[in-house]
Structure 1
Amino acid sequence: MTKEHVSVSLTLERLWQFSLQYYGVHEVKQACLNLQNQFKGNVNLLLLLKWLDEQQVTIAEQDWHKVEECLGRSEALLQSYRELRRKLKQPLTDTLYREALQFELQLEKQQQSDLVDCVNQLALTHADDQPLTRRYCCQLGGEHLYSIFIRPFKLNLDAKESD
């Protein structure tokens, strides 16, 4: 039996606003950083997966590798830049460090754009098995972090969204 394909309205700005608000929750931020630093996970991918979970849609098993591959273009650059920024943290003035963080955010947004483009080309279906965030946490060996990501998130619709 084949699953019925569903359509979701995923735009870069919608994912970006969701990410800013969701990552702004202290426990979520800490869990994301733990996933990134301890388990080599990709926070942008996790945020996308959480957004998809909230929409109650899933990615077909055979398409999972396409999502991971789309990160290849930006992940190496982002990792290198993040490492450089950390090394420079002490000698930089506060102003230069904030500018470095702003540039890193631009790289993060570009990576989210790549993810949005990729997912919008996939056939999504209604989720009826384990959530994508749980699957990703388990894949990385950080199953315990899923207890943070399982909580439903209510997006503040008053936040600016320009599609």
Structure 2
Amino acid sequence: MNPEHVTISLSLERLWQFSLQYYSTRGVKDACLNLQNQFKGNVNLLLLLKWLDEQQVCFKDKDWLQVEECLGRSEALLHSYRDIRRKLKVHVPDALYRESLQFELQLERRQQSDLVACINAIELKHNIGEPLALRYCRQLGAEHLYSSVFSNPMDHIVNM
């Protein structure tokens, strides 16, 4: 085993709970929606990267593509469903719309499950460089979202 190799305990439940708490932090929801809608970013990937940043670990540069590719299975379905849900918003009763939001959350959770499986299959190391969330935001042209919102540490939920 490589001496810089790090073993972490990442489960779907751990990432999901972190995501719910982080997303509810002031400013994060709006920044995530901006990342998604204006910059075509993936919020679940950002949340995973933020969790890894909080653990002070990262993956190798060669694994970026693999991590992004693991979204492929669920991304098209999630985008299609989200588009349909938005179009239906004005045409369906509130209760049905709320149910559609709940179903979308199930799809989001499924996508996080794919991300967790991917991360648990690759080698992680101590991060002595830039945070992963910063790298992702920069890749999307949304570095300002990182510096204004995503760079803030989540000390009170790091060890979830």
> Normalized against structure 2, the TM-score is what?
0.95
Kindly indicate whether residue 145 of structure 2 is the aligned counterpart of residue 145 of structure 1: yes
Within 5 Å, give how 1:1-163 maps onto structure 2.
Answer: 4-147=4-147, 148-153=149-154, 154-155=156-157
Rounded Cα–Cα distance in structure 2 between residues aligned with 1:108 and 1:20: 11
| Count of matched residue pairs | 157
Q: CA deviation at 1:107?
A: 0.1
SS at match of 1:58: strand
**Greater shift after overlay, 145-154 or 34-43?**
145-154
Ranges of 4+ aligned residues in structure 1 off by more than 3 Å: none
- Structure 1, gaps ≥5 residues long: none
Q: CA RMSD in A?
A: 1.4
CA contact (8 A) 2:55 2:158 kept: no
Q: TM-score, normalised by structure 1?
A: 0.93
The alpha carbon displacement at 1:3 in A equals: 6.3
Structure 2: which amino acid aligns with 1:120?
N
- CA distance in structure 2 between the partners assigned to 1:82 and 1:101 by the alignment: 9
Query: Does the 8 Å CA contact 1:22/1:28 hold for their aligned counterparts?
Result: yes
Q: Which amino acid counterpart does residue 137 of structure 1 have in structure 2?
A: C
Pair 55,78 (structure 1): closer, same or farther in 2 beyond 3 Å: same
**Unaligned stretches of 5+ in structure 2?**
none
| Residues 47-69 of structure 1 deviation map (CA, whole Å, 9 limit, x = unaligned) | 00000000000010001100000
